Amino acid sequence: MAGERHPVTVEQLRAFAHPLRIRILRLCLEQPRTNQELAVRLRVAPGTMLRHVRLLTRTGFLAPQQPRTGSRGATERPYLATGLSWRMDLDVHDPALGQHVDLAVVDAYRAELAEALPSAWADRMRTALWLTPAERDEVVHRIEALIADYDGAERRPGGQRFSFLWSMHAERGNP
DSSP line for 36-77: HHHHHHHT--HHHHHHHHHHHHHTTSEEE---EE-TTS-EE-
Domain span including residue 110: 6-121
Report the C-alpha gap between 168 and 48 in whole angstroms. 33
Q: Are 64 and 77 in contact (CB under 8 A)?
A: yes
Query: Is residue 25 one of the residues assigned to a domain?
Result: yes
Helix (H, G, I), strand (E, B) or coil at 108: helix
> In this predicted structure, what is the pLDDT of residue 115?
84
> In this predicted structure, what is the pLDDT of residue 1?
45
Q: Are 60 and 54 in contact (CB under 8 A)?
A: no
**Number of neighbouring beta carbons within 10 Å of residue 113:** 14
Domain count for the chain: 1
Q: Which amino acid is at 5?
A: R
Phi, then psi, of 64 in degrees rounded to 5? -65, 140
Dmax (CA) for the chain in angstroms is 64
Helix (H, G, I), strand (E, B) or coil at 12: helix
Mean pLDDT, the chain, integer: 86
Q: Which residues of the chain have pLDDT under 70?
A: 1-4, 91-92, 120-122, 152-154, 174-175
Q: Which amino acid is at 16?
A: F
* pLDDT tens for each residue of 34-43: 999 999 999 9
Query: Is residue 148 one of the residues assigned to a domain?
Result: no
Query: Is residue 129 one of the residues assigned to a domain?
Result: no
Within 8 A by CB and 6+ apart from 53, the residues are: 24, 35, 38, 62, 79
Report the C-alpha gap between 89 and 12 in whole angstroms. 11
CATH at residue 42: 1.10.10.10
List, edge to edge, every strand of the sheet that includes 62-64. Answer: 33-34, 78-81, 62-64
